[in-house]
Structure 1
Amino acid sequence: METLANLESFVRSAEHAGFSVAARRLGLTPAAVSRNVAMLERNLGVRLFHRSTRKLTLTEEGERFLAAIRDNLEGIQSAIAGVAGERGEPAGALKVSLSPSFGTEHILPLLPGFLQKYPAIRIDWQFDNRQVDLVAEGFDAAIGGGFDLSPGIVSRVLAPAHIIAVASPAYMASRTLPIDPAGLSAFDGIVMRSARTGRVRHWTMRNAAGEEMGAAPKETIVVNDPAAMREAAVLGLGVTLLAVPDARRHLDSGALVRLAPKWYAEAGPISIYFANRILLPARTRVFVDFIADHFKRNRLAERFAGSRG
């Protein structure tokens, strides 16, 4: 009797024409996927793939076998997810992508409570400032903003991502507070260069009346991470534009003050992304619900709204 791991390794390798992509999808190493497929071939007594240095190609036997088991495999996976959910025992590796700043500040502190409730789940979280391919890279979920909703991916909005202008009280001590975004051009700026485009990000801010105005502090310090922008501002090095969740704790403590408080920029919503399946793995379903419930109970959408002034 073949194991589910061997069959999954074969199907994913066939779908992606390689062991490396299949390994990312399954949360395994390429060597482990290759061993699983080799074991399956040995047990069946047939060669399923033609192997080359560039890619895998199904043999005639491999094509027939894939056609025979693919739909059945999806059914077995769904049945396992359903049974695990009915038992109330979600299990397995939960692979999630999060931005370093937002993930560390607002999601990581929820982990003790989550694991206490679901002790059979193992955590595999990656903190990175990039948009991942959930399906190709084998992620159960991703939390962040600005993801493209590729086919098969859905999102659940958690909170707005509003951008506001901030600086330290020490930096502003001998300076006049700006009343609108245009006034930011008089100050040293801590700005962010996009890793994807290589360009410095510029924002257009708006107020409650719907008026719009560009925000362009001097490009005095250029970094590529929101956490670095925030810490540079706390150190009194200039003015920066941050998402409210990245600035919230320091605004509450007084380490940062908000400038042009009636103005903010829209950066799209902060959402949790996951695959659109009829039966999600129980671990993914309970994680999505746990995070969404936390944001709702603590009214974080309201706290993260820059429109509050």
Structure 2
Amino acid sequence: MDSSQRVRAILSFIQVADAGSFAGGARALGITPAAVSKNIAGLEKALGVRLMNRTTRTLSLTEEGSAFLHQARIALDALDAATDAAIAHRAAPVGKVRISTSAGFGREQLAPALPGLLEKYPGLAVEVDFDDRVIDLIHDGYDLALRGGRIADSSLVSRPVCQFHLVLAASPAYLARFGVPRTPEELSEHRLLTRRFLGGRVLPWNFRAADGSITTLDTERAVMTLSSPETLAEAALAGAGIAEVGVHHVWKHLQTGQLKLLLLDRHHPGSFEMTLQYPHRALLAPRVRVTVEHLLATFARQDELHVPAEALRLFAA
């Protein structure tokens, strides 16, 4: 099978897989079902594996077929990106870039980075969804996503933005009223503000024991449980209690003295990260590439995302 036959066969395979039938794939390509069937049979023979199981009523992909479909889509994306790259040599990046991000990070970190992007590349337009739910980047049609937490292995490209360190914070007014806890055990006598994720899980508070092991504090008696870490920080600022939040949420309040940090030597900061993710492609569309480069450079200059652990001691209660 020569290269031109291979391309026709792969296109036939993708269209049939998307349509769920040979007839549907043939209509999409403007050829006969018999030609589509011949193309796929030739592809299977060249590869030496069966890609589809077909009967008179049903059609399904084999395990090898599913794997091949994934790689074939990446190849087509690379061809599209190559076209974009060729155009970029004669024109500035143009087009819309769709971004998904959480409400807090989007408002505090992403939004301030966008005016500079649009000033530098006036041919761009940006569409941002501020949504804390987990999205399917490809299926939902996004070019980029900013995701925080423990990032699972993925077929997406993940570019690190920063490490998130959790801290315990409270206002001076709260501490003056209820006292400063000096051990994790003393927290049971305090008003705790905890976070609940959208899936319903309450984030546990972890502490380092003297022997190096990790202990977990039961926060079931928390006086306030919120899904928004930004609102947790605001509640602590208002004197409602002690909150566990990311440093970046409270950095400006630490600098003004409106919040103080607790149990720095014992509290475990967690292992969370923020990443910028996009679909794996051999070549990125210029509009996406320049957006990625601009955002990573801007985030690298945002001090609240890169506070060294030793600097936090300046703000201990």
Q: Same fold (TM over 0.5)?
A: yes
Q: Cα–Cα, structure 1 residues 234 and 72, in superposed 2: closer, same or farther, change >3 Å? A: closer
* 1:269-284 superposed matches below 5 A: 269-284=273-288
Instruction: Note if contact 1:166-1:256 (Cα within 8 Å) is conserved in structure 2.
Output: yes
User: Residue 212 of structure 1 is aligned with which of 211, 214, 220?
Assistant: 214
- The size of the alignment, in residue pairs, is 264
CA-to-aligned-CA distance 1:234-292 (integer Å, 9 cap, x gap): 22111110011122122223222211133342142111111121101112211221122
Displacement after TM superposition at 1:305 (Å): 4.9
Where in structure 1 are there 5+ consecutive unaligned residues?
Answer: 1-10, 19-40, 50-57
Displacement after TM superposition at 1:72 (Å): 9.1
Instruction: Note if contact 2:206-2:217 (Cα within 8 Å) is conserved in structure 1.
Output: yes
CA distance in 2, matches of 1:154, 1:99: 19
Supply the RMSD in Å over aligned alpha carbons: 3.6
Partner of 1:118: 121
Q: Cα–Cα, structure 1 residues 209 and 96, in superposed 2: closer, same or farther, change >3 Å? A: farther
CA distance in 1, matches of 2:225, 2:80: 47
CA distance in 1, matches of 2:152, 2:229: 21
Are residues 1:201 and 2:174 paired? no
CA-to-aligned-CA distance 1:156-189 (integer Å, 9 cap, x gap): 1111111111112221112221234333222111
Q: Cα–Cα, structure 1 residues 300 and 244, in superposed 2: closer, same or farther, change >3 Å? A: closer
Instruction: Note if contact 1:168-1:255 (Cα within 8 Å) is conserved in structure 2.
Output: yes
TM-score, normalisation: structure 1 = 0.72
Q: Cα–Cα, structure 1 residues 139 and 256, in superposed 2: closer, same or farther, change >3 Å? A: same
Where in structure 2 are there 5+ consecutive unaligned residues?
Answer: 1-12, 41-71
My pick for the range that moved more, 296-305 or 170-179, is 296-305
Are residues 1:176 and 2:176 paired? no
Partner of 1:97: 100
TM-score, normalisation: structure 2 = 0.70
Q: Cα–Cα, structure 1 residues 86 and 179, in superposed 2: closer, same or farther, change >3 Å? A: farther
Instruction: Note if contact 1:190-1:238 (Cα within 8 Å) is conserved in structure 2.
Output: yes
CA distance in 1, matches of 2:302, 2:204: 31
Are residues 1:290 and 2:285 paired? no
Identity, in percent, stands at 30
Instruction: Note if contact 1:48-1:61 (Cα within 8 Å) is conserved in structure 2.
Output: no
Displacement after TM superposition at 1:191 (Å): 1.3
Partner of 1:21: none
Displacement after TM superposition at 1:128 (Å): 1.2
